[in-house]
Amino acid sequence: MATETLRVDAVVIGAGPGGYVAGIRLGQLKKKALVVEKDKPGGICLNVGCIPSKALINASKLYDKLRHGSEIGILADNVRVDMGQMQRWKETVVGKLTGGVRILLKGNGCDYRTGVAHITGRSGALVVEVEGSGADAGKSIRVETSAVVVATGSRPVEIPGFAFDGNRVVDSTGALAFAEVPGRLVVIGAGYIGMEIRTLYAKLGSKVAVVEALPTILPGTDPELAAVVARRLKKMGVETITGAKAKSWADRGDRATVTVETQGGDVQLDADKILVAVGRRPNSEGLGLEALGVRIERGFIHVDRRQQTNVPGIYAIGDVAGQPMLAHKASREAEVAAEVIAGRRAEMDARTIPAVIFTDPEVATAGITAEEAQGRGRKVRVGKFPFAALGRAIANHDTDGFVKVIVDAETSEVLGLEVVGNGAGDIIGEAALAIEMGALADDVGLTIHAHPTLPEAIMEAAKASQGEAIHIQNRTQ
């Protein structure tokens, strides 16, 4: 088999929301780049993560609203779920986006190959060997380059006794591909992935039980926000077992039984499917990085603010480069790395990276919490505004939750903003912009917001931090 030899300015390993963005930006900067992806363009996020999960979550919310529409005068009899058609619709959404990735890369002059890449060392330049797979199976490439961007993402963590078998025990990828709605679903892990998928299937009619080793759901989230989600879980009939450990499972033929260790003794849960969602680990192995001396800690590649590793010419972005493991963080890091490779002055200097959890209700945050601010020696004021007092939320028949604004008590600078309530993910961008530009509470509060809209809650919360909210009683701080 003949080996093709290429010479490019940069090789990007991985075509997820970090990798493909790096390829596009390098092309825009007139750098000859090659993106190598072992699976499908778009990576985990577009193919089996962010996008398909939100497509199914949206469908489940629509189904649930139709089933409970009588309160607002919508009577929909015999509403049913066709899981096969829902999965086909999900795949059309994924197909449109992943197809667009290839078009964008090509349109910006970036080469794309399907294969497994390995950095074999230096021969004047960095050398990357690519063994073709998929559409490029049988094609071997030797690439010489001055820069390599590692954008290989992450994978689900397995736990002892619950190896993924693709049938009874699944990871998030498997859970988004069920041919039928499981009658009984046990979710191990109450972090954001487990909670999002729990939301999806609970709304589609599954009897869901959640097992979490820590004392609360959504660990690491402000307890006040998590409490709103917990109340909705209870209302939906979801069984939540915290402070517990999933020990083992057994196949009973028509079902599985999961043994859970609790403070009160072992309990058993029946399940048709078991979802293990206890976190993700970076994909940094098998790339040849260790042999080159790249610094790796707990699987994460250590980088500086320019996304540069300790080895000249090797960069890392996205999940593999450390927390937070978020697609939009990867995309921004990709732009930074591409610009540095192109000789521009750039660095990862974001003041905040917003995060959204697509539960019911949604949770979104930007900036720091009041506790974090106080821990840094800052005095704070907090303004809150409930969706129960907001015209648009009432009209939407969806009033659970609130907006919380954290401001510096001395300067009134907006330090953080937290939202729990459906629509949270759509309005958190305003908060991120306010923090990024160093806005004061008055900058937000005095900005005229369209009525009736959900972002008015941000305006009102900002005013509340100053004791000037209009549509709630102001508290003395």
Q: Which long-range contacts (CB under 8 A, 24 or more apart) does 159-166 make?
A: 159/188, 159/246, 159/276, 159/278, 161/246, 161/247, 161/248, 161/249, 162/188, 162/246, 162/249, 162/274, 162/276, 164/276
Buried b (16+ CB within 10 A) or exposed e, 418-445: bbbbbbbbebbebbbebbeeebbbbebb
* Residue 451 bears catalytic tag: yes
Q: How many CB atoms lie within 10 A of CB 247?
A: 13
Buried b (16+ CB within 10 A) or exposed e, 118-130: bbeeeeeebbbbb
What's the half-sphere exposure (Cβ side, CA atoms, 13 Å) at 237? 10
Annotated catalytic residue, options 118, 302, 451, 471:
451
Q: Beta partners for 141?
A: 4, 130
Q: How far is the C-alpha of 81 from the C-alpha of 112, rounded, in Å? A: 39
Q: How far is the C-alpha of 285 from the C-alpha of 118, rounded, in Å? A: 10
Are the C-beta atoms of 367 and 435 separated by less than 8 Å?
Answer: yes
Q: Beta partners for 150?
A: 13, 316
User: What residues are labeled active site?
Assistant: 451
